[in-house]
Chain A
């Protein structure tokens, strides 16, 4: 594609919107893996579960974003229970928790996939809303409303979580448990309960992010596999545990992919994105915003 500033501007705009979508689907993992050090490879499967929950509520006329919000308490409880199971089975028993935990969460992902296939079949499912399918027209530029919605929700999630983690007692405790669990215990707080709460929070966020996923594109039960690499890439690129870093890393990834896709070819986009991750890790091993 021949270069023009109009196309570059459009590529940047689409990249920013795509980046916000990546941030929305990665931010739960930023808490679970980035802050809590839990190898939550079932994160994308939980996202897809959220999408199907939204699809189900959509059959009764519930708006996808509202459906995502309605699902958050249930996902919080599910996440808290999942962490308790992981803790009792692996983390409590010692050093091999990370490796065993990987197997555990892969198992959870497969179970979710199979349950979704049994319940909904293998066909793609999509959500319906006034903002899906239309676009904002500014001269020759057309911006899909669904990406604008993802942009708004990602900003909302990032700001809310950043404020929550830095301004509230529980939020600061969650950050502390990620930094020094023993010190937190000495302060009289129960690290396991804090982590259980935080994991519940990360899973609750996935309900809303799952709504974004089905708003942006149709979903099918095994689609989680596509997002494993990308979500972990965003979290590691950001620097483990940084919410604003997650948004920034996702935006960098989205804009890079979009520019490469527009001018150099779509096939190069994933390679450039992961190449960027390698370069950043080589120069700054803790990620862009890691401490």
Chain B
């Protein structure tokens, strides 16, 4: 048999074997439709694409297990370009044209905020996706956020307490002028007032800012001992670069706090050793004990590499997979896809996910917060794999996840 004939026979044989393998059988033909918008381009696009990899993994997993209620799960995601002006239109289309059964919110606060009134008015369950306090005013009773945080005090507590413990008495606050950062900064302002810390600098900057030299110079002039920064991914890298060029002074004990993006692989690789010493919030770092998360990351990394997105995926992906797991648990338990019944179940029960058990409070935020404050240490330039080590991000807070002590002041920690 020549090589060509052997290949043809081999291919035919493989086809027959594949056809004979048991494929998922769905008892009912009509699928359960789940829809969302997701930033796939723009400033939040890097995180959004990684999150989509995880959500599609869950869809494949659940369909591989025979779907939900005997129905295949069909998943639709539109690109909102990180632009909040696009999301209300997308969710109207999802509800009125695509006729989806269940909704998941886009990643981040800014694109989510504009859809909250629409979703509440239409009486739909909305699984939140790393938003921050978007439901505080709307008070939608079918909102459930997958993020491991709750209020801004919980978010900033680890940072501020670490700074105070290191001897800081004054603080500078720098925040992007948009929903997420302002909500966070307002909470920090209230918390530092409660602790009677001296606020020596407080500045918002427009989200379009590209050069942060002047802002960092002003921070340096303020001689603050803590520098709390609430920024979005496109700004975070620029701020870290400016800090390294301008400096913030040797009196600074801790710096960081709410810099979104420092958990995204491309930004971490790009900044490299400039990350050292920064004390920032995080959602997952290697070494944290979470059931099933190691297997998830093994499978996720393979897919992410093939799709050329964030290969580590520590920040968003496991929590997006958890959204699927929570929907799956609620649908199976209630034997329904009715929004109200699912919402009642989600509110009253503990969800078992790869990011640990999840419980919700009355506002749909995490009742059992697990947001961590970690310090970058020993980071080298241009090395992605180093971030898989538990030694690159040391958890300072909360005590249950603590993996080491804070190094302060910031100047000393930069050399760690």
Interface residues of chain A, those whose CB is within 8 Å of chain B, are: 1, 4, 7, 10-11, 14-15, 17-18, 21, 113, 117, 121-124, 126, 133-135, 142, 144-147, 216-218, 220-223, 226, 258, 261-262, 265-267, 269-270
Contact = CB atoms under 8 A, between A and B. Distances in A.
B210 A261 contact: no
A68 B208 CA distance: 24
Contact of A222 (B81, B205, B245): B81
A216 B211 contact: yes
Given A147-B211, A220-B43, A142 B245 contact: yes
Contacts of B211: 18, 21, 147, 216-217
A147 B213 contact: yes
What are the 7 A-B residue pairs with the smallest beta carbon separation, nearest first? A122-B45, A266-B205, A123-B266, A144-B245, A135-B245, A123-B46, A217-B210
A3 B204 CA distance: 18
Contacts of A145: 245
Contacts of A123: 45-46, 264, 266-267, 310
Nearest to B39: A122
A122 B201 contact: no
A265 B42 contact: no
Interface string B102-130: 00000000000000000000000000000
A144 B242 contact: yes
Contacts of A147: 211, 213
A123 B46 CA distance: 5
Contact of A1 (B41, B218, B274): B218
Contacts of B208: 226, 270
Given A217-B238, A265-B203, A269-B206, A222 B214 contact: no
Most central of B213, B215, B310 by chain A CB within 10 Å = B213
Most central of A124, A226, A267 by chain B CB within 10 Å = A124
Interface string B180-215: 000000000000000000000101111011110111
B172 to A, nearest CB: 11
B206 A267 contact: yes
Most central of B215, B221, B222 by chain A CB within 10 Å = B221
Most central of B201, B241, B247, B309 by chain A CB within 10 Å = B241
Contacts of A218: 234, 237-238, 270
B18 to A, nearest CB: 31
A117 B43 CA distance: 12
Contact of A266 (B40, B43, B209, B244): B209
Nearest to A260: B214
Nearest to B242: A144
A27 B198 CA distance: 45
A121 B238 contact: no
Given A261-B214, A266-B215, A222 B42 contact: yes
17 contacts: A1-B222, A14-B214, A14-B217, A117-B45, A123-B264, A123-B267, A124-B237, A124-B266, A126-B237, A133-B274, A217-B241, A220-B45, A222-B42, A226-B208, A226-B210, A262-B214, A266-B215
B204 A122 contact: no
Most central of A117, A122, A222 by chain B CB within 10 Å = A122
A134 B245 contact: yes
Contacts of B244: 133
B391 interface: no
Contacts of A135: 245-246
A221 to B, nearest CB: 7
B41 A221 contact: yes
B177 interface: yes
B177 A267 contact: yes
Nearest to B235: A217
Nearest to A137: B247
A80 B167 CA distance: 62
Contacts of A222: 41-43, 81-82
Interface string B17-59: 0000000000000000000000011110110010000000000
Contacts of B270: 124, 126, 218
Contact of A14 (B82, B213, B266, B308): B213
A223 B81 CA distance: 12
Given A133-B245, A218-B270, A222-B81, A262 B218 contact: yes
B381 to A, nearest CB: 9
A129 B49 CA distance: 29
B213 A144 contact: yes
A61 to B, nearest CB: 13
Contacts of B82: 222
Given A1-B222, A216-B211, A270-B208, 16 more contacts: A4-B221, A10-B217, A21-B211, A122-B40, A123-B267, A124-B267, A124-B270, A133-B241, A142-B245, A144-B213, A220-B45, A222-B82, A226-B208, A266-B205, A267-B177, A267-B205
Nearest to B40: A122
A223 B210 CA distance: 10
A267 B185 CA distance: 15
Contact of A121 (B201, B222, B309): B309
Nearest to A120: B308
B46 A122 contact: yes
Contacts of A217: 210-211, 238, 241
Given A126-B237, A222-B41, A216 B210 contact: yes
B200 to A, nearest CB: 10
A117 B41 contact: yes
Contacts of B177: 266-267
A266 B266 contact: no
A126 to B, nearest CB: 6
A270 B206 contact: yes
A136 B318 CA distance: 43
Nearest to B264: A123
Interface string B347-374: 0000000000000000000000000000
A3 B264 CA distance: 38
